[in-house]
Amino acid sequence: MVQSPIGNKRVSESTLAIRVRNVSKSFPGVQALRKVSFVLETGEVHGLVGANGAGKSTFIRMLSGASTPDSGDIEVQGLPISFEDPRAQRSNGIAAIYQELTIIPEMSALSNVFLGEVPNRWFVVDRRGMEKRFRELAEWMSVKISPHAIANTLAIANQQMLEIMRAVHAEHDVIIMDEPTAPLGPFERSRLYELIGRLKENNVSIIFISHDLDEVLRLCDRVSVMRDGQLLETRPSSSWTKDTLVQTMLGDVEIVPGRKRERGKVKKLLRVQDLTLPGKVSGINFELAEGDVLGIAGLVGAGRTEVLRCVAGLELPAEGRMSIAGEDCAWPQSVRQAIDRGIALAPEDRKREGLVLSRSALSNLLLADIGSGSVGPVMSSAARRTKATALAHQIGFNADRLDTDALHLSGGNQQKLVIGKWLHRRPRILLLDEPTRGIDLGAKQEIFQTIRSLSDEGMGVVLVSSDLEEVVEHADRILVMARGKQIAMLDGTEASVERILNLIFAVESRPALAGVN
Amino acid sequence: MRASTPPVAAWRERLPTLIRVYGIILTLVLLVAVVGIGNPAFLSGQNIFNMLSQWAPAGIMAVGMTFVILTGGFDLSVASGYSLCAVVAAYVGQSYPPSIAFGAAIIVGLLFGLANGLLVAVVRINPFITTVGSGFIINGVALVMTKNAAFLVDNPDFGTLGAGRWHGIPYSGMLLIVFLLVFGFILARTVYGEAIYSVGGNYEASRLSGIRVRAVVASTYVVLGGCIGLAGSIVASQLSSAQANLDPGIIFDVLTIVVVGGTSLSGGTGAMWRTAVGLGIIATISNGFVLLDISPYYQSIIKGTIIVAALALDGGLTRLVRAK
């Protein structure tokens, strides 16, 4: 057993890590929080769930000191606190790990962990001390990261670990984790769960935010549900079920189950044979027929995204053969070539690859067909609005918000735009990379409704998602990948999350061949 | 979705946003008022026409620079290109009719812009470095051509473009206004303009959406090159002469005009009307110094202060709106 680096923890008389009483906060036009009261006990893992826009982010921003409440008060370790800046908050012992990591990509792992409080002697950086402490922390957390690795060369999961190391190093009593598992695959998730357990043993209290309700119920001691800026209810996890959570979160939204269709012989849209991208992906074979939804399952880094990118003309040089509508053709050499063949990709990273955040929802919806609604080179704003409104209806986007900049939209609405921008071009094959990451249940349902209605109209859809349940629920067939290889092709009827995981872990748990740790 | 807010509250809430978006116009109005009250001659037609003529070269280049900056690009070779085009116009103008001289200058400008554009968009060299380098080259070419002597043109027709007037209105000023209007329209209302905003806002997303990103980026340098060619022609015509180091400081005027207007250096946000307002501000400040008889010693202090204050106001208001 490795000794805890957390050392002698402050023992306070209070068993409450945080007590929040009647906190309210409003932004222009929005009551973001209404009289929220909340208690975090010492050494507790407390789940916080709610749809997007329920007020979770505002609430934790307040706890972490990033914004100030309009009214109400907050006590930490029994002491009332004043809010000035995140630095003051650090001494209050609360660390927040946001979805958008605060890692500095160009700096080393070491520098990132000690960011903001570099150990020094007379202002000279104490490198040896830093490295020693780093190894201590890494060992205790069972993390294998070289202190000298540059942060942006690390996987997302490891970057996140650096942030947690930072919090553990500073001996924070409370760590807030905002959707920490969203970018992680199953294996990395279980590593994080273990770590959370270990932090808990050391009396660190954790607020855990996630859209994955199974995970919340499994991991947390108590769960609070937020909706419309209110904290509706807190109960021990044992007295929640997934259904009661969903009901409380959404009020009265109906969940549409996926449905598999029985179909006769239909036209083949796409056939991929022996797709290989040297060093990343090899031996991928699949077919896509009209109206098909093909799921691709695998861990993060298994090569799922690369498969989509090859088909969309973004990865060169891809090897293997491709045929579209029965005709052999070379791999598309550019995005435009792929689009001409009716192939469209909705990429995983909405903000970096999907949207122009500084432009309106309307501009974004027409981005992929920028010349539409114009007479010659001159745009007609009326025609553009008509087209955008029609698209908005199709994807369940509120047409009143067409003039809002994409930056100010929720993740769910942003995702709708990323998919919606293609529909005007009527692609025959739509490639979706993680279309539901980090978005709430309501928006997820709407997105799957859109996918269903598109496939009913004959579009072929390839769906990559880390949420295996989602893949099993909605895909007609599932291509299972591990370490860049295709390991199975399951029929929708014979697939289950368990089966997929077994297949994946049978491969992933094998030792790697050459020196990869 | 939340219910829409009541209209009264909405107006109140929108005020900070309105100030943020249109505040720069307020700055211009204030400046014009101060200078106009200090010396009513400022607002006379004569003075305004003179300003238009004087600022036509920098203003026309600012129009092209707006395109480049909106795509997230930058061009530091403006001053060298400007001198070279003026030299070309004067050199050709010595033995050919003015129209051919100006045409040649504009073609040189376009080719120079194309070279910059290809280096930035296709070879993908950082625009900063590319244009610093190409600026040196062009400056050297101009020096070799002229051996650092001024080319004089004694054909009186050569002066018409820069110094000619119609009912007191300078042709060069008319060209400036036409450029602002035409390129403003292209930016705001055409598919090409929309593509410029998209590429500047997010290059990768635009590429993945099938926009010809490289062509869009490269084309903006060509547009700027054309503007430089015309600006060089105008100044050569105004002076009836040109030399290799005509006005190295003009690059700062051009950049300041675009940026003071509120077009973001990171690309994707801005507008041509902002460049027009920026031009108004810079021209008013400069002209105001003369009309209000401010000692040259204080001019640059005041000019710098106003520029920084205008941008700080802009940033400060933005933060105020976001913070709450």
Q: What is the pLDDT along chain A (517 residues), one digit of tens a residue?
A: 445 665 544 455 567 888 898 988 877 656 788 899 999 998 899 999 887 667 888 888 888 777 778 888 888 887 777 655 555 555 567 888 887 777 888 888 888 888 877 777 777 777 888 888 899 888 888 888 888 888 888 887 888 888 888 888 888 888 999 888 877 777 788 888 988 999 899 889 999 998 778 889 999 999 999 988 889 889 999 999 888 887 887 776 555 555 555 555 578 889 999 999 888 888 899 999 988 899 999 877 788 999 999 999 888 778 888 898 888 888 888 889 999 999 999 998 888 899 999 899 999 999 998 888 788 888 888 899 999 999 999 888 888 889 888 888 888 889 999 999 998 888 999 999 999 887 877 888 889 989 988 988 889 999 998 888 888 889 999 999 988 889 989 988 888 887 887 787 777 655 544 333 3
Question: Are the Cβ atoms of A367 and B1 closer than 8 angstroms?
Answer: no
Residue A382 touches chain B, beta carbons under 8 Å: no
Contact A357 B202 (CB under 8 A): yes
Within a domain: A380: no
Q: What are the structure tokens assigned to B197, written together?
A: 């905003």
In chain B, which residue's Cα lies nearest the Cα of A354? Answer: B205
Task: Work out the minimum CA distance from B53 to partner chain A, whole angstroms.
Answer: 31
Tell which residue, B91, B108, B76, B87, has the closest CA to residue B235.
B87
CB atoms within 10 A of CB B81: 30
> Are residues A316 and A218 part of one domain?
no
**pLDDT the model gives residue B111:** 97
| Candidates B5, B192, B194; nearest CB to A29 | B5
Q: Which residue of B has its CA nearest to A360?
A: B198
B198 vs A367: CB contact, 8 Å cut-off? Answer: yes
pLDDT digits (tens, 9 = 90+) for B38-69: 999 999 999 999 999 999 999 999 999 999 99
Residues A185 and A306 in one domain: no
In a domain, A390, yes or no: no
A288 shares its domain with A234: no
- Tell me phi and psi for residue B147, to 5 degrees: 50, 35
Kindly state whether residues A51 and A194 are assigned to the same domain.
yes
Instruction: Note the pLDDT of residue B99.
Output: 94
Looking at the fold, whether A219 and A322 belong to one and the same domain comes out as: no
A314 vs B contacts (CB less than 8 Å): 208
Q: What is the pLDDT of residue B6?
A: 45
Size of interface A-B (CB pairs under 8 A): 82
Dihedral sign for Cα B82, B83, B88, B94, please: positive
Answer yes or no: do A312 and A220 share one domain.
Answer: no
Calpha distance A488→A491 (Å, rounded):
10
- Quote the tokens at residue A415: 């995702």
Q: A236 and A279: one domain?
A: no
State whether A54 and A166 are in the same domain.
yes
pLDDT reading at B77 higher than 90 = yes
Q: Which chain A residues are closer than 8 Å to B269 by Cβ? A: 358
| Same structural domain, A63 and A126 | yes
So what's the ipTM on this one? 0.83
CATH of the domain at A489: 3.40.50.300
Contacts of B211 in chain A (CB under 8 A): 367, 370
Query: Which pLDDT value is given to residue B323?
Result: 45
Pick from B196, B209, B263, B269 the residue to mutate for testing the A interface (most A CBs within 10 Å).
Answer: B209
Provide the residue range defining the domain that includes A446. Answer: 268-357+427-508
Q: CA A486, A456, A334: angle at the middle one, nearest 5?
A: 55
How does residue B3 score in pLDDT terms, banded at 50, 70 and 90? very low
Which residues in chain B touch residue A347, judged by CB atoms under 8 angstroms apart?
Answer: 208
Which residues of chain B make contact with A367, given a CB cutoff of 8 A? 198, 205-206, 209, 211
pLDDT at A480: 92
- Measured CA to CA in angstroms, residue A515 lies from A148, A484, A511, A512 at distances of 18, 17, 10, 7
Helix axes A411-423, A381-395, angle to 10 degrees: 110
* Cis preceding-peptide flag for B57 (omega within 30 of 0): no
Q: Are residues A212 and A304 in the same domain?
A: no
Q: Is 0.90 surpassed by the pTM of this model?
A: no
Note whether A224 and A292 are same-domain residues.
no
Question: Which residue among A183, A216, A250 closes a domain?
Answer: A250
The answer to whether the CB atoms of B210 and A368 lie below 8 A apart is: yes
| Angle of helix B45-70 versus helix B171-189 axis, rounded to 10 | 40
Q: Which of A102, A40, A32, A42 is nearest to A67 (CA)?
A: A32
Q: What is the largest CA-CA distance in chain A?
A: 77
Q: What pLDDT is attached to residue A429? A: 93
Return d(Cα A516, Cα A18) in angstroms, integer: 42
A422, closest residue in chain B (CA to CA):
B209
> How many domains is chain A partitioned into structurally?
2
pLDDT band, residue B16 (cuts 50/70/90): low
A310 and A345, same domain (yes or no) = yes
Cβ burial, residue B169 (10 Å; 0-12/13-18/19+): middle
In a domain, A418, yes or no: no
Domain assignment present for residue A284? The answer is: yes
Q: Determine which of B208, B216, B263 to mutate to test the interface with A (most A C-beta atoms within 10 Å).
A: B208
pLDDT in tens, B236-284: 999 999 998 888 889 999 999 999 998 988 888 899 999 999 999 999 9
| Boundary (domain end) residue, out of A196, A219, A250 | A250
The residues spanned by each domain of chain B are 56-247
Helix axes B7-38, B272-291, angle to 10 degrees: 30
B260: its two tokens = 């003071």
Please tell me if residue B198 touches chain A, with a CB cutoff of 8 Å: yes
Tokens of B199: 């590429």
- Does A102 contact B at CB distance below 8 Å? no
Helix (H) or strand (E) holding A206: strand A205-209
Q: Does B139 have pLDDT greater than 90?
A: yes
Which of A31, A62, A314, A358 should one mutate to test binding to chain B, selecting the residue with the greatest count of B CBs within 10 A? A358
In chain A, the residue whose alpha carbon lies closest to the alpha carbon of B194 is A370
Which residues from A are below 8 Å from B205, CB to CB? Answer: 352-356, 367
The answer to whether the CB atoms of A368 and B9 lie below 8 A apart is no
Of B195, B197, B324, Cβ closest to residue A27: B324
Question: How confident is the model at residue A417, as a pLDDT?
Answer: 93
Question: Cβ of B269 under 8 Å from any chain A Cβ?
Answer: yes
pLDDT in tens, B143-158: 998 888 889 998 889 9
**Given this model, what pLDDT does residue B273 score?**
96
**Chosen domain end from A199, A220, A250:** A250
Residue A291 falls within a domain, yes or no?
A: yes
**Are B180 and B56 spatial neighbours (Cβ–Cβ below 8 Å)?**
no
Determine the pLDDT at residue B8.
52
